[in-house]
Amino acid sequence: MYMIRQAAGPDPWGEPVHRSTSAVRRACAVGTTVALVGLTTGLGIMTATAASAAEPLDTTQPVVTEETPAPAPSDEPTPSDSPAPADETPAPQVPADEPTTPATTEPAAPVSPAAPAPEATAKPDATPTPDVTVQAEDATVTITGKPKVGSLLSAVTTGFDSDLGYTYAWKDANGLVLSKTATYQVDPTDVRTTITVAVTGTLPGATETTTVTSEATAPVTQDPAFLAADGTPTTEGTSRRHPLQLTATAGDAFSHVFRAQGSPTPTYALAWFDPDDAELAEEYPEDDWSPADQLPEGLAFDASTGELSGTATDAYDWEFAVTATSGTESVTQYVQLNVEAGAPAGIMVYTTDRAGLFDEDEDFDDRKIWIVQPDGSVITLGGPVGYAEGGRPTIKQGGTLIVAGGLVDRWGNLAGDLDEDAPVLLPTVSSDVASDVIAPDAEYGDAGIVNVTFPHASVHHLTVSSGDFSTAFAVDVQPTAVAPVVAPKPVPAAAPVTPVNTGGQLAYTGSDATGALPWALGLLVAGAGLVGARALRRRHTQR
């Protein structure tokens, strides 16, 4: 019969393999072999056809064995009671309780185990070595904080032995080491790059260090901030109460570039800056007005570059705002642009009927004010018309017009300081009708007001002058059936009033108008009238 070689060494229980010629043990070995073959076939270890289970042997009957020399192959078919092919697996022997001597006529063969034995467990070493590779997968580091300039980033670790400490290495996308501490404050030079942190530490039970690296942050961003002329961030203009002050001159080219830092690259836009926003929105629909309407004529804002440029001709204080936006963050700069008047080019005259002007119950809705420009053209304000280009100053016979004037530039902007504490100008007024009475107002002459009384009805021509500049206009004196007019008592000065002029400038009275009323009278039209007229004219043109 064939022999199955047992692997050298002890059997799975650690005992030497024994051989036996006992017929009973051999019969048992046959049954054991059947079980072993069935098991190994099911596990795919050996290739064999399915065999029926062997019937149990009757151990009460004698077992007859036929000994066959081992080298001779078997020509007979395998007996039906054998569970395995004879040419593959001879009946193995089971271990004996005590050693026996093999039969002299049968070759010795190793004995297979009676049944599969549990795998032997290797004896552990005295000091087990941790699987550092597996544990390193559990060690992590993450970055907390926003990747934004000025923000503080922190490294948060897990899996390390915290008692043994860590080392840190913050790096940008180019591998440049930024910091070696547990936290890192993002610097402006980090804009648009990503940041990682590598942490080196010791795993629990390990003797060597392990390094883990975080995922990269998103590209670093930067909140927008407006820059000063020197390129440094500025807070000027960020408060509505303290806007950025800009100055321009009427008729001169102007340019100012609003610059801001930030990432993504900031975009610019005009915004409203007016304490009366709600009233404006109610009076003028949004479809008709936009933040650009806050700019003086002649100036335009380029949102792509942030440049405000052009040539303004309206001397006034203009308020508006500019925003810079980076991503979802925006910053606003409030601006007050002071457009100053250009060089004097003529005299603008303002006149109205003196009757009732200083009465507390005066109804100004019916009052007309005439503005005479240096070229003699007239603008009429007030009354049922409200605003009209053209017209002629009109007064009843025996009535009195008050006349005020001031130097203006070529665009009609008042030259000089309009502050109420500044000295005022008293112009020279003359008439082509000798009977007209011309004198500074007895009560408000210091405010630059000159009275002209007309005793006779006709068209009179008045001239207001100062130095090299003069403005002439006609007055329609309408007749009335009234008693002879008593002219107002003039101040001790000859009429017409002729102040001393120097250097082509209007003469100063030498006194300061310290009260609001006198100054308001002196600028009856120069202030409110002129500015109102120009504003109305501009709106009239736009609409």
- DSSP for 230-295? TSSB--TT-BTTBPEEEEEETTSEEEEE--EEEESPPEEEEE---TTHHHHHHHS-TTT--GGGGS
Q: What is the mean pLDDT of residues 44-55?
A: 41
pLDDT at 317 over 60: yes
Range from 23-27, 311-315, 401-405 carrying the lowest mean pLDDT: 23-27
Confidence of residue 407 (pLDDT cuts 50, 70, 90): confident
Per the model's pLDDT, the better-predicted residue between 48 and 293 turns out to be 293
| Pick from 161, 145, 154, 216: nearest CA to 182 | 154
Q: What is the mean pLDDT of residues 156-174?
A: 93
Averaged confidence pLDDT in the chain: 73
Confidence of residue 356 (pLDDT cuts 50, 70, 90): confident
Share of the chain above pLDDT 70, in %: 58
CA–CA distance, 406 with 527 (Å, rounded to integer): 10
How much is the pLDDT for 384?
76
Strands (E), 432-491: 437-440, 450-453, 459-466, 469-478
Q: What is the mean pLDDT of residues 443-458?
A: 90
Q: What is the mean pLDDT of residues 272-297?
A: 71
Is 132-220 in CATH node 2.60.40.2700?
A: yes
CATH number of 230-340: 2.60.40.10
Say whether 346-542 and 132-220 share the same fold: yes
Q: How many CA atoms lie within 13 A of 392 on its CB side?
A: 14
| pTM as predicted | 0.56
| Pick from 543, 535, 532: nearest CA to 297 | 535
Confidence of residue 488 (pLDDT cuts 50, 70, 90): low
CA–CA distance, 197 with 141 (Å, rounded to integer): 8
Q: What is the DSSP letter of 336?
A: E
Architecture of domain 346-542: Sandwich (2.60)
Helix (H, G, I), strand (E, B) or coil at 439: strand
CA–CA distance, 457 with 438 (Å, rounded to integer): 16
Range from 274-278, 285-289, 395-399, 511-515 carrying the lowest mean pLDDT: 511-515
Helix (H, G, I), strand (E, B) or coil at 163: helix
Q: 349 and 403 in contact (C-beta within 8 Å)?
A: yes
180-187 contacts, C-beta under 8 A, 24 or more apart: 182/154, 182/155, 183/152, 183/153, 183/154, 183/155, 184/152, 184/153, 185/150, 185/151, 185/152, 185/153, 186/147, 186/148, 186/149, 186/150, 186/151, 186/152, 186/153, 186/220, 187/149
Task: Give 525-541 pLDDT, tens digit per residue.
Answer: 444 444 444 444 454 44
Range from 33-37, 47-51, 90-94, 458-462 carrying the lowest mean pLDDT: 47-51
How much is the pLDDT for 511?
30
CA–CA distance, 112 with 101 (Å, rounded to integer): 18
Task: Give 207-241 pLDDT, tens digit per residue.
Answer: 899 999 999 999 999 999 999 999 999 999 988 88
Q: What is the mean pLDDT of residues 138-146?
A: 94
Per the model's pLDDT, the better-predicted residue between 485 and 188 turns out to be 188
Q: Which residues 6+ apart lie within 8 Å of 16 measured at CB?
A: 10
Range from 175-184, 421-430, 469-478 carrying the lowest mean pLDDT: 421-430
Question: Burial, 463: exposed, middle or buried (Cβ in 10 Å; 0-12, 13-18, 19+)?
Answer: middle
Per the model's pLDDT, the better-predicted residue between 425 and 91 turns out to be 425
pLDDT at 383 over 60: yes
Q: What is the mean pLDDT of residues 398-420?
A: 83
Share of the chain above pLDDT 90, in %: 45
How much is the pLDDT for 164?
87
pLDDT at 503 over 90: no
Q: Domain residue spans in the chain?
A: 1-122, 132-220, 230-340, 346-542
Q: Which residues 6+ apart lie within 8 Å of 417 measured at CB?
A: none
Q: 328 and 506 in contact (C-beta within 8 Å)?
A: no
How much is the pLDDT for 290?
85
Q: What is the DSSP letter of 379?
A: E
Question: Which tokens is 36 given?
Answer: 């072993």
CA–CA distance, 220 with 147 (Å, rounded to integer): 5
Vertex 75: Cα angle to 73 and 76 (nearest 5)? 125
Q: 449 and 520 in contact (C-beta within 8 Å)?
A: no
Q: 274 and 280 in contact (C-beta within 8 Å)?
A: yes
User: Cα–chain-centroid distance for residue 347?
Assistant: 51
CA–CA distance, 74 with 100 (Å, rounded to integer): 28
pLDDT at 92 over 90: no
- What percent helix, strand, coil does the chain show, rounded to 5? 15, 30, 55
Both ends of the chain: CA-CA distance in Å?
Answer: 121
pLDDT at 443 over 80: yes
How much is the pLDDT for 487?
54
How much is the pLDDT for 119?
52
